[in-house]
Amino acid sequence: MYSSKEIIETINMVSRQHLDVRTITMGISLFDCITDSPARTADKIYDKIMRKAGNLVSVGNAISAEIGVPIVNKRISVTPISLITAASKGHEQAITALDKAAAETGIDFLGGYSALVHKGMTPYEKEFIASIPQALTSTGKICSSINVASTKAGINMDAVAMCGKIVKQAAYLTKDSDSSACTKLVVFANAVEDNPFMAGAFLGVGEADCVINVGVSGPGVVAAALKECQGDLSEVAEVIKETAFKITRVGQLVAKEASKRLNAQFGIVDLSLAPTPAVGDSVAQILEEIGLESVGAYGTTATLAMLNDAVKKGGTMASSHVGGLSGAFIPVSEDAGMIAAAKSGALTLEKLEAMTAVCSVGLDMIAIPGDVSEEIISAMIADEMSIGVINCKTTAVRIIPVYGKKAGDWATFGGLLGNAPIMEINRKSPLKFISRGGRIPAPAHSLKN
Amino acid sequence: MKAIVSVIGKDKKGIIAGVSGLLSDMDVNIEDISQTILQDYFTMIMAVELKESKLSFTQISDKLSELGTKIGVEIKMQSQQIFDAMHKIAMVGNN
């Protein structure tokens, strides 16, 4: 039997501190759907997703009711579609099949309209990447990602140049909804194969047929625990570790139950602390609880690095398999504390870039003026990719050049995606750099400064 | 399945009788029970076993919430697994 204190602690985490499991993400391999016919490939994709994920939402809801913890999203990730449709060139039919399956299973997001081009692109992959803006505009739940760099391969600058273009196109095509298609598009360095979080989830080529990956949440729980802590930073780190352990155990329980009931392999628990726009569910609030007037102040990088490391230390023992991105998320529009700091000017893009060097995952959900040129966006991507490549970590860019809006205006995306002030950025031209194309070579990793 | 029923609210007469009566009507066995007053709030924790009940987890849980609303306290039922997961170090065999 447990003490009343323990029972009440668990109940309060849910009712007062926004503890939730952010997502159960079912990874589905689509390799057995490859044919040379666009129509047949699309049919097989639809059938396989319905067969594997038909019960995903009801099972998720049942587990949530039994343990008394909300499971906010049920999601699907699939093998990168560019690999599945390379033989048939049937990506247009595939996107229709994915959209239909996403609607009929009742899931929240489906990720994997993706391409892996960190070293080079096939002619078909170029065609596929060019199709992404339209695919994201014509669907609601489909998410897309492109891996353009890796520590082993360097940075594919031809792909980076293309990404600047497609981000701008996606922004234009959804100009009536604050360029919302860009919220479903991520550019990666060192993308992981078992990420449950969107918009970057896809199922890697080394994965099993059907896998359950779970993403936890709970920045509010960490902040609440730190409120009680008046000790030094060693104690702060201990409190974060203990709290991360408990949060991760919830993820472990959900992943184990879901994989058993859905007849899928237990994949990983992702330790990332995912914020939401709700007050009290913020990563920024944790840094402020540690002792900063506002996120963005000097000390932000240090506190974030400590938080990220302590979460991993607490979380690793709590789960049998840890993976995915597993780090603190800092999406600007999805975190009330980050939104406030960006609005007041305390948080700048340069500081955000520094923060991405010590946590997952990158420049995330940042709204910038709609007239920023494609080469500037490509150069922003290149900078962020180089941080990932040099530091052997995943980095990503999900920025939204909000069509027709300028710095100081406001962009609203709704739901978990939140809203954000549009931030001004450095407009000096990187045109010549981006126009050169080619590859930035992979780094040497023996000389470590 | 084993579950934990927690009852939290302003202290008044008849809470234990009401909750245990309803559990008995639904063939839910109470295995352990503890009661404290925390910050002026009446807190009762019951460890229960559901295997003899003909009702589903959700049906039992709904009936308890209904009773809670009627007598003015909050009644929650959660699988014991969530408390094992959070408050015990050992994982093998538990969840």
Per the CB < 8 Å rule, is B45 touching A4? yes
Per the domain annotation, does B38 fall within a domain? Answer: yes
**Cβ-Cβ contacts under 8 Å, B36 against chain A:** 4
Per the domain annotation, does B27 fall within a domain? Answer: yes
Split at pLDDT 50, 70, 90, the class of B93 is low
- CATH, residue B32: 3.30.70.260
What average pLDDT score do residues A63-76 get?
A: 96
Chain A residue with CA closest to B35: the answer is A4
State how far the Cα of A125 lies from the Cα of A379, in Å rounded to an integer. Answer: 21
Q: Are the CB atoms for A66 and A15 separated by under 8 Å?
A: no
**CA of B78, closest CA in chain A: separation in Å?**
5
pLDDT digits (tens, 9 = 90+) for A47-69: 999 999 999 999 999 999 999 99
Per the prediction, chain A carries an average pLDDT of: 95
Q: Quick check: ipTM above 0.90?
A: no
| Model pLDDT, residue B95 | 44
Q: Which domain holds residue A361?
A: 214-432
Lowest mean pLDDT among A7-11, A208-212, A394-398: A7-11
Angle at which helix A336-344 crosses helix A283-290, to 10 degrees, equals 70
* Same domain for A247 and A138: no
Neighbours of A432 (CB within 10 A): 8
Q: Which residues are within 8 A (CB) of A44 and not within 5 positions of it... i.e. 6 or more apart?
A: A30, A32, A33, A35
**CA of A206, closest CA in chain B: separation in Å?**
27
Give percent of chain B with pLDDT exceeding 70. Answer: 96
* Same domain for A246 and A110: no
What average pLDDT score do residues A278-297 get?
A: 94
Q: Which domain holds residue B51?
A: 2-87
Chain A residue with CA closest to B90: the answer is A318
**Residue A373 has what DSSP assignment?**
-
* Same domain for A293 and A415: yes
Greater pLDDT, A341 or A278: A341
Per the domain annotation, does A359 fall within a domain? Answer: yes
Mutate to test the interface with A, among B78, B86, B88, B92 (most CBs of A within 10 A): B86
Instruction: Give, in order, the Cα–Cα distances in Å from A178 to each of A160, A411, A422.
Output: 23, 6, 11
**Cβ-Cβ contacts under 8 Å, B95 against chain A:** 252-253, 256
A8: pLDDT strictly greater than 90: no
What average pLDDT score do residues B10-17 get?
A: 87
Question: How many structural domains comprise chain B?
Answer: 1
Question: What is the per-residue burial (b if ≥16 Cβ within 10 Å, else e) of A383-422?
Answer: ebbbbbbebebbbbbbbbbbbebeeeeebebeebbbbbbb
Can you give the pTM of this predicted structure?
0.94
* Same domain for A406 and A335: yes
Q: Chains A and B: how many Cβ contacts under 8 Å?
A: 71
B91: pLDDT strictly greater than 90: no
Per the CB < 8 Å rule, is A6 touching B57? no
Q: Tokens standing for A394?
A: 């995943």
Q: Does B41 touch chain A (CB under 8 A)?
A: no
Question: How many structural domains comprise chain A?
Answer: 2
Lowest mean pLDDT among A242-256, A271-285, B63-77: A271-285
Which of B4, B34, B85 is nearest residue A252 as measured by Cβ atoms?
B85
State how far the Cα of A23 lies from the Cα of A30, in Å rounded to an integer. Answer: 21
- First-last CA distance in chain B: 12
Q: Tokens standing for A260?
A: 């058993």
Phi-psi region of A392 (alpha: psi -120 to 50; beta: other; left: phi over 0): left
What average pLDDT score do residues A387-412 get?
A: 96
Instruction: Give, in order, the Cα–Cα distances in Å from A10 to each of A13, A34, A433.
Output: 5, 46, 53
pLDDT digits (tens, 9 = 90+) for A225-238: 999 999 999 999 99
A127: pLDDT strictly greater than 70: yes
A392: pLDDT strictly greater than 80: yes
A335: pLDDT strictly greater than 60: yes
Per the domain annotation, does B94 fall within a domain? Answer: no
Q: Does A320 touch chain B (CB under 8 A)?
A: yes
State how far the Cα of A398 lies from the Cα of A138, in Å rounded to an integer. Answer: 19
Per the domain annotation, does A14 fall within a domain? Answer: no
Q: Which residues are within 8 A (CB) of A202 and not within 5 positions of it... i.e. 6 or more apart?
A: A77, A78, A79, A80, A111, A112, A114, A145, A191, A193, A195
Per the domain annotation, does A8 fall within a domain? Answer: no
Lowest mean pLDDT among A132-136, A237-241, B32-36: B32-36
- CATH, residue A120: 3.20.70.20
